[in-house]
Amino acid sequence: MRRPQIAALSLCLIATAAVAFAQPSPPPDPNKIQVLIITGQHVHDWRGTTPILKQILESTGKFEVRINEEFRGAGPETLAPYNLVVVNYYNRGDKDRWGERANAALEEFVRSGKGLVLYHLALGAFDGWTEYEKMSGGNWRPSNGHHSARHDFTVDITDADHPITRGLKSFPMTTDELYANLRWQPEGSYHVLATAYDDHALYQGKARQPIPGAGIHQPMLWTTQYGMGRVFVTTLGHSPTEVKEIGFGTTFARGAEWAATGKVTLPIPTELAAK
C-alpha cells in the first residue's frame, strides 16, 4: 500500500474513532434507580471492587449505574441525575479531599431525601468532616478502628424486621476483615442490622487498640438517617473476592434499594432465606 493510501486510511480511522467517542451516553432509564459510584482514590483495590459493585446492582434489573473517578470539585449538578450515591473512596491526606463544594453537594443530596451507601473503608475517609461522620454513624479514625487478621466469621442478623434484613438468616463471610472499635456517633443516631463476634484471641497480642475481655459483637451492617435521606453502611467486602460472596451481594443490593426508595423488593436467595 502506498504512503498516500496509508495516510488516507489513518485519517479515516481517526475520524471514525472521533465520531464514536463523540456519541452521547444513552439517556437514563426512568424505570430504574439511577446510581453514581464515587471512587478513584483508595488504599484498597477500588479498580477491582468497583466493577463488581456495579455488576451486583445492575444484575438485579432495578439499577442503572455510572462511575465517577474524579469527584473533587463536583457540585449539585453532578449529583442531580441520581437517586443514590455509593462511596468506594478513601482519601490519602488532604490532597484527595473533595473540597467544600463537593462536600456540600453530597450533604444536600442526602438531606433532601436521596440515598447513600457507604462501603467498607469509605468509613475511614474524610477525618474531621463532621457531616460525613454523622451520615456514617461509625468511622475508622486514627485512635479508633482496627481488625485482626482476615478470617472466616458469621454475620448475625440482629434486626429481623428491617426491610433490608427481613427474611434473611445469618450468613458467613470468608477471609474478610472484621472491623472493630470504630468511633461511633451518639447512641440512637444509627441503627444496627447485623453484627459479628470479634474474637480477641485472633489479635495474637498485636491489637492496635485495647481489647478487654475475650471478645465482643461488633456492628457489621447499619443504617442512619440524615435529614430526609437514608444511609446504608456495610463494613464487609475487603477485596474483589469477598465482594463476590452471596452474603455481601445480597445485603449490598437490598441496602442500596432501601437507601434509594425506602423499601426493599429484591428477593432473598434460597440459601440465605430464614426458615
Bridge partners of 11, per DSSP, are none
- Flag the least confident range among 17-31, 111-125, 164-178: 17-31
- Structure-model confidence comparison of residues 73 and 10, the more confident one: 73
* pLDDT, averaged across the chain: 92
Cβ pair 196, 154 in contact under 8 A: yes
Q: What is the DSSP letter of 146?
A: B
Q: Which amino acid is at 247?
A: G
- Per-residue confidence band for 275, with pLDDT thresholds at 50, 70 and 90: confident
For residue 24, pLDDT beyond 90: no
For residue 48, pLDDT beyond 90: yes
Cβ pair 81, 272 in contact under 8 A: no
What's the average model confidence in pLDDT over 225-246? 98
pLDDT reported for residue 261: 98
For residue 53, pLDDT beyond 50: yes
For residue 14, pLDDT beyond 50: no
User: In this structure, are strands 229-234 and 215-226 parallel, antiparallel, or unpaired?
Assistant: antiparallel
Q: Among the CATH numbers 1.10.10.60, 3.40.50.1370, 3.40.50.880, 3.40.718.10, which is that of 29-145+182-196+218-266?
A: 3.40.50.880
Q: Domain residue spans in the chain?
A: 29-145+182-196+218-266
Dump pLDDT digits (tens) for 92-105. 999 999 999 999 99
Dump pLDDT digits (tens) for 71-91. 999 999 999 999 999 999 999
Quick one: what percent of the chain has pLDDT higher than 70? 91
- Per-residue confidence band for 17, with pLDDT thresholds at 50, 70 and 90: very low
Quick one: what percent of the chain has pLDDT higher than 90? 89
pLDDT reported for residue 218: 98
Dump pLDDT digits (tens) for 183-227. 999 999 999 999 999 999 999 999 999 999 999 999 999 999 999
Burial call 152-179: b when 16+ CB within 10 Å, e when fewer: ebebebbbeebbbbeebbebebeebbbb
- What CA–CA distance (Å, rounded) separates 192 from 121? 18
- Per-residue confidence band for 63, with pLDDT thresholds at 50, 70 and 90: very high
- Per-residue confidence band for 28, with pLDDT thresholds at 50, 70 and 90: confident
- Per-residue confidence band for 18, with pLDDT thresholds at 50, 70 and 90: very low
Q: Which helix (H) or strand (E) holds 68?
A: strand 63-68
